[in-house]
Amino acid sequence: MNQRVLIGVGGGIAAYKICEVVSTLFKSGVEVQVILTNSAEKFISPLTFATLSRHQAYTDDNFWQPIYSRPLHIELGEWADIFLIAPLTANTLAKLTHGIADNLLTNTILASTCPVLLAPAMNTDMWEQQTVQKNWQMLLTDGRYHGMDTASGLLACDRVGAGRMAEPWEITAYVQSLLHTRGQRDLAGKKVLISTGATREHFDPVRFIGNPATGKMGLALAQAAKHRGAEVTLVYGVAHWNLPLGVRGIPVVTSAEMRGAMMAELHNHDVIIMSAAVADVKPQNYNQEKLPKAALPSTLALEPVGDIIAEISQHRQPQQKLIGFAAQTGDIITPAKEKLQRKKLDVIVANPVDKPNSGFASDRNQAVFLDYQGRQQEIPDCTKLQLAHYLFDFIRVGD
């Protein structure tokens, strides 16, 4: 089934970032069409978007020419599964809030019924104006509209502050989430706690016991939960990715730090997902200074690390849902079932780490979901964001 995304580009320097969004969506198999406002054309040409999307890019010149069998804004509005507006300017925001339709973009929005994702971008003083914030909050009371937070940083006006548009990877992920959920916010009002990444157990300041986990699966879980309306806290080991906008992050290094963070947050959340690859053992002794190579021990005395998810299981409330991960080689089902029962989990995700495009560091994954009621669902090769959504579909948080 074709997935179709209509993108409305507003007038702002951030318009150049949307080229990457269009290209990434096209490469993933999504059909993309683009509308540019008159102001947007001053920053980037329709030809650029036409080349990237393999479709004509539409402007107001097309809107006012009666060369289409049906009104263009009606055709485009009915065609779209998801409507993205980025960058969203203060001008277009005001028009949407008050139902003004004076160009192709705003007419098409009113002629569509699909979910609309908004990615604002403007100068800090403009973004923080009371009228702009009032329009923003008013528009988001309409369930069609999904708003992305703005980032803080150096803006094109040389101001450092809020108003920076979300990065292409975040916009693309949100679009892909909406293609899956069709705009449903089934986690609205829920708080989700997720652990991800690898812990490091040092025996001197520069050497440690670790594993190849990158935290990408937990990152995808955090994005999916946020896009479905949840309030998300992500406890993560050493990461080489940026924390998603709107997600609260707690960075940790050791298993002890991860345990402390998870236990401190435990009772404040409805769903707890332990996707981190926590060490099983740690060195018995720690050296405050780097050991010379000649002084490295031939054997390393180890001691077990506490089982975080087992401790969470003992202290959680009955209404809290607890989900674990089991990264396995060979037979992934048998050990996952045993872990599910022994640790009294609601759901466990068994995923192979010995298959291509699966497991550590990959952008893709595959898994089998199992729950305490005996349900079992196999998820074939897909992106980690897709897997995250399939998991939330399986969990059935409202039950």
The residues carrying an active-site annotation are 157
Distance (Å, whole) CA 226 – CA 233: 10
Parallel, antiparallel or unpaired: strands 191-196 and 145-147: unpaired
DSSP-assigned letters across all residues of 53-107: HTSPEE-HHHHTS--SSS-HHHHHHHH-SEEEEEEEPHHHHHHHHTT---SHHHH
Angstrom distances, CA of residue 155 to CA of 10, 89, 260, 342:
17, 14, 37, 52
Residues belonging to the chain: 399
Rg, C-alpha atoms of the chain: 24
Question: In sequence order, what are the residues at sequence separation of 6 or more whose Cβ sits closer than 8 angstroms to the Cβ of residue 285?
Answer: 203, 301
Measured torsion, CA atoms of residues 311, 309, 322, 218, in degrees rounded to the nearest 10: 150
Amino acid letter at 58?
Y
Terminus-to-terminus CA distance in the chain, angstroms? 30
Tokens, residue 375: 């349900």
- d(CA 262, CA 274) in angstroms, rounded, equals 9
Residue 148: count other Cβ atoms within 10 Å of its Cβ: 22
Q: Report the sign of the C-alpha dihedral through residues 229, 235, 240, 246, in that order.
A: positive
- What's the rounded Cα separation, in Å, for the pair 251 and 248? 10
Beta strands in the chain (DSSP E): 4-9, 31-36, 57-58, 82-88, 116-120, 145-147, 151-154, 160-164, 191-196, 201-204, 207-209, 231-236, 248-251, 271-274, 281-283, 302-304, 321-328, 347-352, 364-371, 376-383
Q: Counting beta carbons within 10 angstroms of the beta carbon of residue 298, is it exposed (0 to 12), middle (13 to 18) or buried (19 or more)? A: exposed
CA-to-CA distance for 24 and 260, rounded, in angstroms? 38
